[in-house]
Structure 1
């Protein structure tokens, strides 16, 4: 039984799949704080006004209830009681229009009245009582007879504030209109909502502007870090001069503390890179000097060994074999020293002899040499019809081709087909590929194939005596990088492709070139002849 999979928790302050920026969080926090403050103020204001207005209504209602109770015993009765009208208090002096009165007997309303203003042609406007309809009486019947003030909705009349009054003549219901107080409260709530919305909008705009200004130092710190991240710090001489501006390193502020810390970090990194560069330069000088000095004794060893082997004195077969091995290993060591010397010169930034160079003749010559050195392989050419011109050093590019073809010859079994291909145009650069159908490169070696002294396992190597120094592909990488290009490898069992991308350069023919016999048609004819020779 599988354990239940935990539900992924979303990070706070983030949208689905997208975290919030600091500026957005600050703006939202400030707007939310303003919204909470406005809500609290609006709620307290509404409650206070509600208490005040309904307190006034209850005071007026108490006066109406006092009139309904009638005079104390022994005093003169009120006019409405003398006339026999028990609900006449609704039109008494000082009563507001719309006052309701009702008589309750045995829990039922037996009589009701509403003060209303009528027009009389002779006497003018008068306040007269009017009877309530059945729906209004039914609404009044729901009022509790507890002597407390209650708010109820009377059909056709609106909200009323009502209470029951127990008198010596029975129980009465009295009420006055509360619609005015309720309208006032509704108006206040609407005004508060509008003002709050306007305030939140203003707070959002002002907060965005203020926070943007406040975060400018932090953005400058981030910009400095971004510029440093774009520098090439892993190789070559590094001049790490990027620093946070002095104005953004005030230790009294949080951003200043970050800026000062970043400057200290950049200073330490710059010192470390400077020390690394000095150490690399010492190693390069040592390798260059040692390689240069070793060439002479190695040449002497090879010369004396060959002289001894070819001398007049008779030597035994074992001695001849030993002398042959001395010559072979001296030659192998000479090749290693030459490769080390070239890498040291490339690392030191020695300038190349750059000129317009057509890769097709170089590929033809390199494949011809590879065919002579490896007749057990099948060599093929795939060249474009137009010249593939690059701005490069012909000698160094020839060495790139020789190393790539030699790598394919050395690390693939006999019968492997090796194809040298040139493609490209003026927009995407010129691509040079060396493809073989050998066993491929181990996947764990592919990321380190262009490092110095990187070697494949026995599945790709033909033998220990192949003469490989492990520097050929490193030289390829260094030469291509010096030309402003790049090189990569793609390898699966049955196909290994080394691809070199170089910037293209369309060579403009001059009058001198034409007079010297370097015509486009002659160049093309010569190239076709070379292709025919190598394919035969």
Structure 2
């Protein structure tokens, strides 16, 4: 499996190190070849000087008494040549003599393999590199004396090769140090230049943690302004402009929602008394006309007026409750036993919805929640009523109450048709109802909205999962601190 750097900082540092390695390698190779060429030129100069000296020493027409004294009358003498220099004579294309100028022990005769190696280049007129099996690499040059004799002169190439090897080792060490320094310094520089981006990421994470879905939400987080003409500074300014725009939009949304809530609360409050009066008069008329011979249509109309005014009064009360919950107004805070409330709600459902099969699972000991008892009764009642109103005959409904650590979990499960897919994510919104059920089911669409509002006012939450035949509504509340 290939390991790839995960962060941009490590990638850029690796890129810098790679570029440094590539540039250093190219420079090192070029320098090595250049220095080797220079050293080989020097070696060739030494070779030409040694060849000229060899011609002088081997020529029977020495140009000075000093040369003749050095030769001592021996045509094979290598006096005056650098140590390690090889000299030889060629006769009819074959080497007849090949000796080495030694440091201490005098001249040494090369082996037959050495002669064979030199034999291959005697016809060349320019310096050639020859590897002698017993002596190593030599730079060899063939030349002629004034009397026409052909001589071979060679100088050892080991010094050049040794220098190049040391140079390569030195370049490798220096290149490794440079690459490590470039990687370290590059990582530091890149990390430092990336700090503004890290700050932007921190700002973005803080924004995602803000409760923007609730009312009175504000985005008071801003990125640090950089007065630089860099791309990072431009991103920071663009992010601040975007956050400011979103903050303004949220403020306008909150203001609009608040006006709507105020209107609903004021309208509901103003409608309570007229509705109560209208319902009272309708009931009074029903009592007076109960024994009167009036058309059946009149009796049905009076009954309809009574029912609808009652339904409107229920909607008004629900809207007033939601308005109080929106303002986070909780009437009372006390320890409330949810087991007793749930038991009563299920018992009532078994009477009012006999065509359903009701199940109840809860602990024997009380489960206490700190909150408003009336609101919690409304929460449990709405959950049970939701099953009763939106499921058909024979539906199995199971209510489960349990404690999990510092949380109380209330689940209401049913085997009904479930929520329509388009409604599932909006079921907790006000007046949320499936279109194909509005005429057949008398529902205000406020039941689960009240459940969620009550749960939130008690620091809890609402969760809904639903597929046909398997629907679960879960309310999670904190346990009372007294437990």
State how far apart, in whole Å, the 2-side matches of 1:473 and 1:311 are: 39
CA shift digits 1:294-347 (9 cap, x unpaired): 222222332222222222443210111122222222222222222222222222
Instruction: Please name the residue that 1:445 is paired with.
Output: 423
Instruction: Please name the residue that 1:412 is paired with.
Output: 391
State whether structure 2 residue 179 is matched by structure 1 residue 181.
no
- C-alpha contact (below 8 Å) 1:298/1:334 kept by paired residues: yes
Structure 1: gaps spanning 5 or more residues? 1-14, 120-127, 509-536
CA shift digits 1:365-401 (9 cap, x unpaired): 1112222221222222211122212222221111111
Instruction: Please name the residue that 1:32 is paired with.
Output: 18
State whether structure 2 residue 26 is matched by structure 1 residue 47.
no
State how far apart, in whole Å, the 2-side matches of 1:469 and 1:400 are: 15
State whether structure 2 residue 462 is matched by structure 1 residue 487.
yes
- SS of match in other structure, 1:102: strand
- C-alpha contact (below 8 Å) 1:250/1:257 kept by paired residues: no
Instruction: Please name the residue that 2:170 is paired with.
Output: 191
- C-alpha contact (below 8 Å) 2:200/2:223 kept by paired residues: yes
- SS of match in other structure, 2:251: helix
Deviates more, 1:67-76 or 1:18-27: 67-76
- SS of match in other structure, 2:218: coil
State how far apart, in whole Å, the 2-side matches of 1:209 and 1:323 are: 84
State whether structure 2 residue 59 is matched by structure 1 residue 92.
no
State whether structure 2 residue 474 is matched by structure 1 residue 496.
no
Instruction: Please name the residue that 1:133 is paired with.
Output: 111
Instruction: Please name the residue that 1:161 is paired with.
Output: 139
- SS of match in other structure, 2:421: coil
Instruction: Please name the residue that 2:332 is paired with.
Output: 353
State how far apart, in whole Å, the 1-side matches of 2:122 and 2:352 are: 116
Deviates more, 1:150-159 or 1:205-214: 205-214
CA shift digits 1:12-40 (9 cap, x unpaired): xxx96977433223322333343344334
Instruction: Please name the residue that 2:381 is paired with.
Output: 402
CA shift digits 1:79-121 (9 cap, x unpaired): 5999473x44xx132x1111112333454433321122445xx
- C-alpha contact (below 8 Å) 1:425/1:504 kept by paired residues: no
CA drift at 1:61 = 0.6
- C-alpha contact (below 8 Å) 1:486/1:500 kept by paired residues: yes
State whether structure 2 residue 318 is matched by structure 1 residue 339.
yes
State how far apart, in whole Å, the 1-side matches of 2:302 and 2:5 are: 72
CA shift digits 1:52-100 (9 cap, x unpaired): 2111110111122224445999954775999473x44xx132x111111
Q: 1:437 to 1:72 in 2, by over 3 A?
A: closer
- C-alpha contact (below 8 Å) 2:370/2:479 kept by paired residues: yes
Q: 1:71 to 1:474 in 2, by over 3 A?
A: same
TM-score by length of 1: 0.81
- C-alpha contact (below 8 Å) 2:455/2:477 kept by paired residues: yes
Q: 1:34 to 1:19 in 2, by over 3 A?
A: closer
- SS of match in other structure, 1:211: helix
State how far apart, in whole Å, the 2-side matches of 1:337 and 1:107 are: 126
Instruction: Please name the residue that 1:477 is paired with.
Output: 452
CA drift at 1:135 = 2.1
Q: 1:129 to 1:501 in 2, by over 3 A?
A: same
State how far apart, in whole Å, the 2-side matches of 1:271 and 1:218 are: 25
Instruction: Please name the residue that 1:513 is paired with.
Output: none
State how far apart, in whole Å, the 2-side matches of 1:151 and 1:298 are: 118
State how far apart, in whole Å, the 1-side matches of 2:196 and 2:404 are: 46
- SS of match in other structure, 1:174: strand
State how far apart, in whole Å, the 2-side matches of 1:48 and 1:16 are: 38
State how far apart, in whole Å, the 1-side matches of 2:92 and 2:279 are: 138
Instruction: Please name the residue that 1:8 is paired with.
Output: none
Instruction: Please name the residue that 1:383 is paired with.
Output: 362
- C-alpha contact (below 8 Å) 1:292/1:341 kept by paired residues: yes
Instruction: Please name the residue that 1:236 is paired with.
Output: 215
TM-score by length of 2: 0.90
- C-alpha contact (below 8 Å) 1:250/1:260 kept by paired residues: no
**Among residues 277, 281, 300, which one is paired with 2:254 in the alignment?**
277
State how far apart, in whole Å, the 2-side matches of 1:161 and 1:73 are: 22
